[in-house]
């Protein structure tokens, strides 16, 4: 049976300001769809005979991942939490170790959470061909049939045919310059390296033992020292700290004699830049891809995304314009690949716009920081039905809560009361308190904080149903 492994790490900095460190691109809707990228990746598995998937993500994305899986009915999935990134080779090793203990014959289907694949039937057919090779002991990668001379992807040169199902891998090559990419395309022997794989879990571990024994030993210790918490498998952080950082390509695929490649021609895109997103998005007669409240005049071949207000463009072409509540990006399409430098500058300047949006998701709901100044901050808070914030206190701030809609059960010290629409309550500095929504509709309230320090780290949790205490 196939065991899907969904790689959902990464921060997607080349899609800033929509993608942020705490809410990266794999958890966003892209290209005009209604599902997020990670949800679409899981939905593409429908029609295949697969076991419950394993999703690997960063610790800080755990509740975001769990909620998105729950929304599409994948509540039986395992979510493996990395305390920090160590690249793809250790992540896949952890998934392999986790599943091979239950099923020594398990075959892993390793997918990235942020890819777009338009032709699902062709994708399933390629998986069937790859599975035939994997059963024979091959480590299979999917090679994307190139449509143009792309300089942003690594390439794979195909070797001899392995029957009707695929080819031996002759070699992996790094991202080429334009002239070399043209030569690769003309030769017909090269495909793009997709970063998707299929192999027996035990076979991958054998090769990792051969080429990276220290990495495998660290992964074994990290899994053994881990614990299960709600939907999550938490790794032992101390053991994982010592794990070498390496990709599966460098650690195994470029060194093994068992590497094979199955061509995939299925409308694939890794959405690695705003240009790539423009390329796959529906467009008007002038080549413009428009999302949100957008007004254009004499504008061509541009991507315009508005999150919260009217964006108007006049007399321009080949631009990327992306508006969010706290940042606006204007870039030429030819410069879209350089966006990571802007994000690095934001970090080095000590700003926070790379980290999160104004809206921040929590396991209980979401809050939007709608205003702030010296010694005050205003948030709009939405609590899901039945959800409950932790029992907590703050050393440096007081809070006022005004209920806009719904009902709030509020605990302040040893007193619990019901606060309903148009009512308010006050929590002094240092007072233990808790908020929950006992109703069947979302609870909306305005929170006004005041004090000498308003940072999110001024929270002392005593009890928490989400394991954060």
Q: What is the mean pLDDT of residues 270-285?
A: 91
What is the rounded CA–CA span in Å between residue 418 and residue 420?
A: 6
pLDDT tops 90 at residue 76: no
pLDDT tops 90 at residue 1: no
3-state helix/strand/coil string of 106-140:
CEEEEEECCCEECCHHHHHHHHHHHHHHHHCCCEE
pLDDT tops 80 at residue 230: no
pLDDT tops 90 at residue 231: no
pLDDT tops 70 at residue 297: yes
What is the rounded CA–CA span in Å between residue 427 and residue 429?
A: 7
Q: What is the mean pLDDT of residues 101-126?
A: 96
Alpha helices in 155-195 (DSSP H): 178-187
Q: What is residue 468's predicted lDDT score, i.e. its pLDDT?
A: 73
Q: What is residue 407's predicted lDDT score, i.e. its pLDDT?
A: 97
Q: Are 278 and 331 in contact (CB under 8 A)?
A: no
Angle formed by the axes of helices 213-224 and 201-211, to 10°?
Answer: 120
- Within 8 A by CB and 6+ apart from 293, the residues are 306, 309, 310, 311
Helix (H, G, I), strand (E, B) or coil at 418: strand
Read off the pLDDT band of 469 (50, 70, 90): low
What domains appear along the chain, each with residue ranges and CATH number? 2-269 (3.90.550.10), 283-347 (no CATH), 359-463 (2.60.120.10)
- The DSSP code sequence of 226-279 is -EEETTEEE--HHHHHTS----HIIIIITT-TTEEEEEE-S-EE---SHHHHHH
What is the rounded CA–CA span in Å between residue 37 and residue 364?
A: 22
Read off the pLDDT band of 191 (50, 70, 90): very high
Q: What is the mean pLDDT of the chain?
A: 94
- Within 8 A by CB and 6+ apart from 102, the residues are none
Helix (H, G, I), strand (E, B) or coil at 342: helix
Read off the pLDDT band of 164 (50, 70, 90): very high
Above pLDDT 70, what percent of the chain?
99
| pLDDT per residue as tens digits for the range 300-311 | 999 999 999 999
- The pTM for the full model equals 0.88
Q: Are 222 and 243 in contact (CB under 8 A)?
A: yes
**For tokens 């794999």, what's the residue?**
26
pLDDT tops 80 at residue 121: yes
pLDDT tops 80 at residue 229: no
Q: Are 321 and 334 in contact (CB under 8 A)?
A: no
Q: What is the mean pLDDT of residues 313-323?
A: 97
């Amino acid at each position: 049976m196939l065991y899907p492994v969904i790689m959902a790490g990464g921060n997607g900095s080349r899609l800033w300001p929509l993608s942020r460190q705490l809410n990266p691109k794999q958890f966003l809707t892209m290209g005009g769809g209604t599902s997020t990228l990670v949800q679409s990746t899981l939905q593409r598995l429908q029609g295949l005979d697969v076991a419950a998937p394993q999703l690997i993500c960063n610790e800080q994305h755990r509740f975001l991942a769990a909620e998105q899986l729950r929304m599409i009915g994948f509540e039986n999935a395992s979510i493996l939490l990395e305390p920090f990134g160590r690249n793809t080779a250790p992540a896949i090793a952890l998934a392999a170790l986790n599943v091979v203990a239950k099923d020594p014959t398990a075959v892993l289907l390793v997918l990235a959470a942020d890819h777009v694949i338009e032709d699902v039937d062709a994708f399933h057919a390629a998986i069937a061909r790859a599975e035939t090779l994997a059963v024979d002991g091959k480590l299979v990668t999917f090679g994307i049939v190139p449509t143009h001379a792309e300089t942003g992807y690594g390439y794979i040169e195909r070797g001899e045919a392995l029957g009707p199902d695929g080819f031996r891998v002759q070699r992996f090559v790094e991202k080429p310059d334009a002239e070399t990419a043209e030569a690769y395309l003309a030769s017909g022997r090269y495909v793009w390296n997709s970063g998707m794989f299929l192999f027996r879990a035990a076979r991958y571990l054998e090769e990792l033992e051969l080429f990276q024994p220290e990495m495998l030993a660290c992964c074994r210790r990290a899994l053994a020292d881990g614990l299960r918490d709600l939907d999550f498998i938490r790794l032992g952080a101390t053991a994982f700290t010592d794990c070498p950082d390496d990709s599966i390509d460098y650690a195994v695929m470029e060194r093994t004699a068992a590497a094979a490649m199955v061509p995939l021609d299925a409308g694939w895109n890794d959405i690695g830049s705003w240009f790539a997103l423009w390329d796959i998005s529906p467009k008007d007669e002038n080549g413009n891809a428009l999302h949100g409240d957008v007004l254009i005049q004499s504008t061509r071949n541009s991507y315009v995304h508005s999150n919260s207000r009217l964006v108007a463009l006049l007399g321009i072409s080949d631009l990327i314009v992306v508006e969010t509540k706290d940042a606006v990006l204007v870039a030429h399409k030819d410069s879209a690949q350089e966006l990571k430098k802007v994000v690095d500058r934001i970090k080095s300047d000590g700003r926070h716009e790379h980290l999160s949006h104004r809206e921040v998701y929590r396991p209980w709901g979401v809050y939007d920081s709608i205003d702030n100044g010296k010694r005050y901050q205003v948030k709009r808070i939405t609590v899901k039905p039945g959800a409950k914030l932790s029992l907590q206190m703050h050393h440096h701030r007081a809070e006022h809560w005004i209920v806009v809609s719904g009902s709030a059960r509020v605990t302040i010290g040893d007193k619990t009361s019901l606060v309903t629409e148009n009512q308010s309550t006050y929590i002094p500095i240092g007072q233990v308190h808790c908020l929950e929504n006992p109703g069947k509709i979302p609870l909306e309230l305005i929170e006004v904080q005041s004090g000498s320090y308003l940072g999110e780290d001024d929270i002392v949790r005593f009890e928490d149903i989400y394991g954060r205490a």
